[in-house]
Structure 1
Amino acid sequence: YLTYEVRTHFSGGKELSLTLSLWTPSGDRPFPVLLDFDGCWRYFSDDVVQAVLARGNIAASVDRTEAAADNKDEYRNTGLYRLFPDAEFGVCPAWAWAVHRCVDALITLPNVRADAIAITGHSRGGKTALLAGATDERIAITNPNNSGIGGAGLNRLKMDGSEVVASFFRSGNIFWFGKKYAAHKNRDAELPYDNHYLHALVAPRGLLLTEAYEDHSANPAGTYAAARSAQKVYYLLGKPDAIGWAYRESGHAHRPEDYAALLDFMDRHLHGRELKRDFQRNLYPVLEDLLHPPESNPSSNS
């Protein structure tokens, strides 16, 4: 077990530090990495860490709130906002920036496979994971867990009980997002694009969506629809198996089953291990009239 201080220096003598914790399996070869940046929540338990190590991966953890507090009353006095008080970006982008800085550090370590870094986060951490993975091609696998609206779920296709933009005003969490997103309060359908675009930006790299059927506020059906919509991009780029989804029973949490699904996905795509697990099951047949299955040989104008 090792702890690293990841420092970013800015002009004017400004500096921000992140604490990156690593657990490494035995052996002297480079290993894939699973980076969990929800250190503030403790879902990345000792049992999860041991499961990561047992599969031949490095377990890495950082507390995203070191980059910006997860508190509407305090965030402006912390992290990046303390250094740049006029910044208008939301807290999720600040956290995604922190993920990228951890990747900067990881790829310099001799025991890390720089081509095999996976990231995961839960809820608002899941929203952050999708944004971080979409905007950094060094990330091999992106895994947003229960990320909901503003994450992997669609704004234009929602389940009963799913969040809407106005939900973040009611909860006080609109500070997670930028002003342009906040401007669509009660106007979700007028957003200029939907979140399957973020799925597609991850392509052709690995993308695994982990969700819970009973987590209606996170819109698991909308996440499935977004993944199916983005799947055509993976076909066009010749990587049809690089996108997948794994759903479980129960509600909003980052459970061991979610991590196990990600480790299976890493086994297949980073270790080259054969698995019987199907990551592309038809989970919502009722949506088939709205979703067109991707063609195996799509035409150039698809």
Structure 2
Amino acid sequence: MKGIIYAALTFGLCTAVAAQAPLNYDVENRGKDLGATAGQLKSNKKLPNPFEFHDGTKVTKFDDWSKRRNEIKADIEKYEIGDKPIPSDVSATYSGGTLTVTVKEGGKTMTITSKFSIPSGNGPHPIIIGMNSGTGSLSSSLFSGFVQVPFSHDQVAKYSMNGQKDTNVGFYKFYGNKNQNGDYSAWSWGVSRLIDGLAQIADQYHLDMSKIAVTGCSYAGKMALFAGAFDERVTLTIAQESGGGGINSWRTSADFASRGTNIEKIDNTNYSWFMQSLKSQDPYKLPHDHHELIAMIAPRAVIALGNPGYEWLGDESGYKSMMAATEVWKAMGIEDRIGFDFTGGHEHCQAASSQTKSVTAFVDKFLRNKDANTDIHVKPTNGKGFKIDNYGDWIDWETPNLPYEEASIPDTSVAGPDTSVTDTSITSCGDGRIALPKIGMHVTAGRIEVNGAPAGAIVKLYDVRGNVVATLGATGGDLPKAKGRLLAIVESAAGVRLMTKAIVNTGF
């Protein structure tokens, strides 16, 4: 690789594919160092604008979203659940069908275990993390061929129905100074540590870390929602019947309750799950609301399931919140990545057959790479006191255009007719050439993000002298801490060069 010429090669494509935002990232929170802070309490009868920073400036491009997302995260941590720390020392082993994750911090050690089997074959195997069981409250048959990973949340924070927190176990004992946190910070922290562990065994057991889903129902539906929102490695979040404190916005729930319904709202939820201080908050003064908790998932995928026959779930509120959140995906041009199905007529946490089909569509499209229609927006009907068609009254802001844009340098997307390889990621053009996957590459200060590379691919970065300065995974990662021109080459697991692109590292 000596004497690299910094000109990317371009050949004719079989088909043109528009660049789309990544479906997941290789780190828990890309924006943790962006300096985002929580907003102040002030009266706002509408759902807050997800496209406005706390200083009043607007989100005007896709790359702005990471910082705005972290402002929302800061709001939720300050006013609802407490902070979610990222530990520096996590290790993992898989033996006898059990994953053991060991976390060390400040001289303390904590372990989290999960028992599951690895499907046969070489994979790569997608992953479903279920709250309490391998697939939550959904049928395991929906996730055939997946690694089905149960999150046993009592290891991290014990479930409490009466709001009494046990601070002598798990997360609270490990950290010691976070007893005022809500369990949803602890539980989402625990799911992230499982993902840390899965990443460490992924190569050995052929796990596909670009295809991770989380799911749960009821209080565990909230758990799945917080886990997916707070960890950008999650590809698909499935929030089933999460109700108040989940997909429902506090403002729309307060309004719904004012019309005589008995639903979960800010002053009658569980204050072990949330911070005790949340109980005294005025929902109309929060700088955020739960349409923005949902929006933290963007540009990744989410589907919410409801059950309007259960008054306590408050699905009118959930519907309005989902509709408001959808505007974020609409701004990015990826509305097919957010859906909801409020079909009723079934028991709590027992999905209707139509809802099972809705989930299957999202699983097929985003975790199995199959063609599927995910334009799924099933309104709640026949609920007590429902008034759903005025959701637009809650929005007094405009939706901008925030398209995802790749770096402008062309890429090698098709090899010439003399190329002879055997690689399942490569298809024939039918005219003597072979078509390589359409791969997107997006470069920001300090990071390179790759979208569309097959599992097992690597990204090699070369300096101007032809030296390899970094080798990254299929989704990219941190750039080396040096300014200058680099050559990024994406190679398949079989060693086939899939893409060559010259980039400029502007530093940090």
Q: TM-score range by the shorter chain?
A: 0.7 to 0.9
**Structure 1 residue identity aligned to 2:177:** D
Asked if structure 1 preserves the Cα contact closer than 8 Å seen for 2:332 and 2:401, the reply is no
Structure 1 counterpart of 2:115: 21
Are the structure 2 counterparts of residues 102 and 130 from structure 1 closer, same or farther at C-alpha, using a change threshold of 3 Å? Answer: same
Which secondary structure does the structure 1 equivalent of 2:111 belong to? Answer: strand
Q: Unpaired segments of 5 or more residues in structure 2?
A: 1-95, 403-508
From 378, 386, 389, the equivalent of 1:288 is 389
Question: Hey, what's the Cα distance between the residues in 2 that align with 1:29 and 1:238?
Answer: 31
Once the two structures are TM-superposed, the CA of residue 264 in structure 1 deviates from its matched residue by 3.0
Q: Name 1:63's counterpart in structure 2.
A: 152
Partner of 1:161: 262
Seq. identity, %: 24
- 2:337 aligned partner: 242
> 1:73, 1:210 → 2: CA distance?
29
SS at match of 1:27: coil
Give distance in 2, aligned partners of 1:252 and 1:82: 37
Give the Å deviation of 1:230.
1.0
CA distance in structure 2 between the partners assigned to 1:11 and 1:277 by the alignment: 45
2:322 to 205, 208, 227: 227
Does structure 2 conserve the Cα–Cα contact (< 8 Å) formed by 1:215 and 1:251?
Answer: no
Letter in 2 for 1:275: A
Structure 1 residue 3 and structure 2 residue 98: aligned? yes
User: Could you tell me which residue of structure 1 aligns to residue 477 of structure 2?
Assistant: none
TM superposition shift of 1:221 = 1.8
The change in CA–CA distance for 1:265 and 1:300 in structure 2 (over 3 A counts) is closer
Residue segments in structure 1 that go unaligned for 5+ positions in a row: none
The reply to whether residue 255 of structure 1 matches residue 363 of structure 2 is no
1:32 and 1:117 in contact (8 A); partners too: yes
Which deviations, in whole Å up to 9, do the C-alpha atoms of 1:128-160 show, x marking residues without a partner? 222221121111011121111111112122342
Q: Is the counterpart of residue 77 in structure 1 residue 168 in structure 2? A: yes
Higher helix proportion, which one? Answer: 1
2:175 and 2:322 map into 1 onto residues whose CA distance is 35
CA contact (8 A) 1:31 1:112 kept: yes
Q: Which stretch of structure 1 is more off in the superposition, 210-219 or 225-234? A: 210-219
CA distance 1:8–1:243, change in 2 (3 Å): same
C-alpha separation between the residues in 2 aligned to 1:143 and 1:125? Answer: 11
8 Å contact 2:336–2:375 — kept in the other structure?
no
Cα distance change, pair 261–23 in 1 and its aligned pair in 2 (3 A): farther
Structure 2 residue 212 is matched with structure 1 residue 92: no
The 1:164–1:44 alpha-carbon spacing in structure 2 relative to 1, beyond 3 Å, is: closer
Aligned to 1:107: 199
The one of the two structures with greater contact order (alpha-carbon pairs below 8 A, sep at least 6) is 2
Q: Distance in 1 between matches of 2:135 and 2:149?
A: 13
Aligned with 2:325: secondary structure?
helix
Q: Distance in 2 between matches of 1:80 and 1:23?
A: 26
The answer as to whether partners of 1:211 and 1:248 remain within 8 angstroms in 2 is yes
Q: Which has the larger radius of gyration?
A: 2
Give the C-alpha shift of residue 243 in structure 1: 0.3
